[in-house]
Amino acid sequence: MTQSNTQNINTNIPISHEVTIFAEPIFNIGNFTVTNSIITSWLTLLIILALAFAIRLKLKKIPGKLQNFFEIIMEGALSLCDQVTGDRKISKKVFPLSFSLFFFILISNWLGLMPLLGSLGFTSFEGGNATFVPLFRSATADINTTLALAIMVVIASNIFGIFMVGLWKSFNKYVNLISLGSIFTKVKKDPTVLIVAPINFFVGILELVGEMAKIASLSFRLFGNVFAGEVLLASMGVIMAYLVPAPFLFLEVFVGLIQALIFSLLATVYFAIAAQDHSEHEEHKEAHAH
């Protein structure tokens, strides 16, 4: 944990600024506590809405510079989505969510690196200690935000799978009752089903555990990289205020871009996997084997 002390002229109490692992509370709305990471989330959404309205109002058959810039980005992103899904129809359904996630995470990551926003805050006096509390903190440097995004992606991908392949097939991907039932229907023709069917059933249970692992990997990867970057910049800022942190600041700008890209691509992968009909694939393999 990094700590730098300055002197308060009025009270002569040292003011500390600590990079905490948790988001600091700013104010309350009833029983709801608004933290500095939530305020940054709201600011990120306002920026995205402002960009969306600006592009929508300037849409023309002959695109201007802003429209042309975003069209190039969207075409490249959609092509990348096609490479992941392998199907343009699936890409068109998944792309709006994955692209929105990319922009939300990217802007949130970069807002947390802006020195002017980080310097805005107030001093909190508790127990004789004065602590500087910033008004803005990167939303993705708060585990609550990344966890919420990860849960949303995993639940949405499974709902998407239900619409694409059906409720029964999606359920059997995790609780493979079809495989267990095949013991009674195929045991005479193929005795190996006595071994294969239970294995397939437990593989489905492992798939269910894997869904929980997806939430952990998505949330902690994003949170860990963004929070570590904030700690690194704060540490370098204590060593030397201007020259030393500059290269690390550019590095964190690049890391913020990469982390947004990784999260959105993984979300696309999960949606593409959920849209696959595994039962048809297994039937095709069995027919080919026969």
pLDDT tens digits for 17-34? 566 777 788 888 888 888
pTM of the model: 0.81
Give Cα 275 to chain centroid, integer Å.
20
Residue 149 or residue 204, greater confidence: 149
What's the whole-number average pLDDT of the chain?
Answer: 80
Instruction: Assign 83 a pLDDT band (cuts: 50, 70, 90).
Output: very high
Q: Are strands 121-126 and 32-35 parallel, antiparallel or unpaired?
A: unpaired
Q: Span 244-254, mean pLDDT?
A: 77
| C-alpha distance from residue 124 to each of 112, 121, 148 (Å) | 21, 10, 29
| C-alpha distance from residue 122 to each of 8, 78, 133, 274 (Å) | 12, 43, 5, 47
Instruction: Assign 79 a pLDDT band (cuts: 50, 70, 90).
Output: very high
pLDDT tens digits for 104-136? 999 999 888 777 666 676 666 565 566 667 788
Least confident of 60-64, 130-134, 231-235, 265-269: 130-134
Beta-carbon-side half-sphere exposure of residue 97 (alpha carbons within 13 Å): 21
For 128, left (φ over 0), alpha (ψ -120 to 50), or beta? left
